[in-house]
Amino acid sequence: MQPLLRFVVALASFERCSFACKCVGNIPVCERFAQSDAVFVGRVESVEPDFDFWGRSSIIQRFKPQISDLQKRLSGNENDNSPDTVKKLRELYLEILPEQYKPRIVRAKGRSELDALFQAVIENGKRVRLKVQVAYKGASGDTVDVWTDFSDCTAYLLKGETYLIYAQRGGKGRLETGACSGNDRLTNAGEDLAYLHFILHGGAASGRVYGFVTSNEGDLKLPRLWWNVPNPVPDLILRVESDNTARYAETNRHGEFAFDGLEPGKYALSVLDKDFPEKEQLLSGPRTVTVPSRGCVSENFYIPR
């Protein structure tokens, strides 16, 4: 990423939506859990550096007068290294960058040193320190540091808020996360928390069978990254049976269903009409599924309307 001033000059003629982060797919929770090196609930204690270019802590908005003044100065001479321009740039960086960088900002002799320092800070990323409340995977200790970058796919994690965090081990050995990792405010993470509850407390009975019911056979051929289907069938009844138990679930408005807390073994999975139990009409199945220990199985059904 370019240093701040060149960055904001380049952005002057673009709309925010041009840089919107686009995540690939809507990954189910058990796949997201398997792909993550750390999964935990944590409260944000600090964010450093506490700014970004676009979101809720946008430096372009927070320091708009200073940046506008510098943009005007540079519009006619992008390489302006005059003492007055360097002074204004130094003052801006002293406000923006964390405390540990301020001695280097003060000692910097010109724009090139200031720009190099700012670029190094941006390339290092943003450290979010969280107090761990519940650890599901890979989060040891009372606090965990998670890093995110300054791209448009940064993770917007706000100080004082509590989140369900999914993080992966990055190239520097640090835990890293982003807008597409699946993080959510704890208040909004209900569906994920149901699965994670069994992972933490279910012991052997922590398997999941999940999937969707669609009225378009073509939806079955969609890549699994794209989980929400265009033609869902809500309100149908799913039944999963073992030798001595039967459990039931209903498809939601997205056509999705899930059974959690399953022990490893073979199950019979069937789709029943929404009039069950008054009238039992088998629409599909029974289909044999094998649930591995603490594993997930995806099964999808085509039911013509």
pLDDT (tens digit per residue) in 214-249: 999 988 887 655 567 889 999 999 999 998 889 999
Query: pTM, whole model, 2 decimals?
Result: 0.82
Identify the pLDDT of residue 301.
Answer: 95
The list of the chain residues with pLDDT below 70 reads: 1-20, 24-25, 54-57, 76, 78, 223-227
Identify the pLDDT of residue 13.
Answer: 37
Q: Which of 298, 294, 299, 297 is nearest to 198 (CA)?
A: 294
Which position has the token pair 């995540």? 23
Identify the pLDDT of residue 11.
Answer: 43
CATH superfamily of 204-302: Immunoglobulins (2.60.40.10)
Please answer whether residues 284 and 261 qualify as being in contact, where contact means their C-beta atoms are separated by less than 8 angstroms. Answer: no
Identify the pLDDT of residue 2.
Answer: 45
Identify the pLDDT of residue 81.
Answer: 78
Q: Which of 29, 50, 39, 56 is nearest to 195 (CA)?
A: 29
* CA quadruple 9, 15, 21, 22: dihedral, nearest 10: -140
113: part of which helix (H) or strand (E)? helix 111-124
For residue 210, which amino acid is it? Y
**The CATH number of domain 1-201, selected from 3.40.120.10, 2.40.50.100, 1.20.1440.230, 2.40.50.120:** 2.40.50.120
Identify the pLDDT of residue 44.
Answer: 97
Identify the pLDDT of residue 18.
Answer: 43
Taking the mean position of all CA atoms in its chain, how far away is CA 65?
33
